[in-house]
Amino acid sequence: MKRIIVSLLAALSFCTGALASEAGPAWDKFPKDRITDMAALQNGAKLFVNYCLNCHAAAFMRYNRLRDIGLNDEQIKKNLLFAGEKVGELMNVSLSAKDAKEWFGAQPPDLTVIARSRAGSNGSGADYLYTYMRTFYRDESTPTGWNNLVFPAVGMPHVLWELQGEQRAVYANEKDPHDAAKTVHVFKGFEQTKAGTLNKADYDLAVADLVAYLQWMGEPNQTQRARLGVWVLLFLAVFTLIAWRLNASYWKDVK
């Protein structure tokens, strides 16, 4: 329990800038059908291990839980283990807290429950992550050379830039609708400056797969819980009907 609390606090401290972002641009809707697609979850797991697990741990998830998304031990060992870990081990990283703070200014948060912790008034945590991973843009004024539309001044570089390519944010000065004497800096969209290995549609799909895996990792039994919930509601509906009729039968002779 203590480790979970520490991990959540680290995630919150690393993402404090994102809290204010709820007043910024709307979050795009994550395609929820990806969470029940085993192929999407497997691709998301591959992306997570290759691009996220270098700095971000998932210290409360074991590799062998990937069996739940259709992978066997041999596939896990061959495709998802690169540093001699065993299938039963936790998804930790070798990056020490000291080095992380020196290199990044803060320890990258554990991602085991990141999709659950990032929910807000703009949408679910999956919506936030789906938007976040698609709105990085080049900004030479930042230490990393990258910025993000929903997390301004983000300390994390764009790890998927080879897939997405590079883009710049386009802004325009417009009159403030509340004060005609003032102007506001309005975001107009992105302009692609360098192509990636994936086109826009394929990149969006890859991000959806990655986010689907992150959401699944936060609660691996969520699909089973949802299916069980339907049967529970049906049982309660039938039980309520039976109880109502029994009550009427019991009190029918009472004046």
pLDDT value for 9 = 38
User: Which amino acid would we find at residue 211?
Assistant: V
How many Cα atoms sit within 13 Å of 31 on the Cβ side? 14
Token pair of 94, please? 């070798």
Rounded to the nearest 5 degrees, what angle is found at the Cα of 111, between the Cα atoms of 73 and 226? 75
pLDDT value for 251 = 86
- Asked if pLDDT for residue 112 goes beyond 50, the answer is yes
The more confident residue out of 1 and 48 is 48
pLDDT value for 24 = 66
- Tens digit of each residue's pLDDT (9 = 90 or more) over 155-209: 899 999 999 999 999 988 888 788 777 888 788 899 999 999 999 999 999 999 9
User: Which amino acid would we find at residue 116?
Assistant: R
- Tens digit of each residue's pLDDT (9 = 90 or more) over 2-60: 444 434 334 444 444 444 345 568 999 999 999 999 999 999 999 999 999 989 999 99
pLDDT value for 86 = 87
Token pair of 35, please? 């969470």
Instruction: Determine the length of the chain.
Output: 255
| pTM score, whole prediction | 0.80
pLDDT value for 222 = 82
Token pair of 145, please? 């050379």
How large a percentage of the chain has pLDDT more than 90? Answer: 61
Could you say which architecture CATH assigns to the domain 2-220? Orthogonal Bundle (1.10)
pLDDT value for 107 = 86
